[in-house]
Structure 1
Amino acid sequence: MLLTHEIYSKEFDQPKEGKKEKRKYIPQQSHPWKLASFEKYLKRIGKTLLEYQAENSA
């Protein structure tokens, strides 16, 4: 009777690689789904969407 055993053999089995960490997709602030809340933010800081786009495109 074996008291302890290993699930994987060190001599025959390849070590399993860990799962790759997936990066969560975060859309841009000007994305249509976020546009309403982003426009509120721009209004609070005193800019328009066109001003914001002009700053970030340059």
Structure 2
Amino acid sequence: MKFFYTRRALESLEECLQHLGKSHRRIIEGNYKIIYRVEGENIYITDIFDSRQNPDKMRG
């Protein structure tokens, strides 16, 4: 499966996780948020969240 996202989409910060100070970002695909963070040349996917759930479950 291939995904293509614009630079703007890849720069979307995830507000619910700002308190962690890790600059988590999100990509929305259907009903899911793919939560990730970038460190240097590495991308770490930290969560795949069903956006139909209560956002408080994602606060970390």
In the superposition, the TM-score normalised over structure 2's length comes to 0.22
Higher share of residues assigned helix: 1
Structure of larger gyration radius: 1
Higher share of residues assigned strand: 2
Of structures 1 and 2, the one scoring higher in RCO (CA 8 A, sep 6+) is 2
In the superposition, the TM-score normalised over structure 1's length comes to 0.22
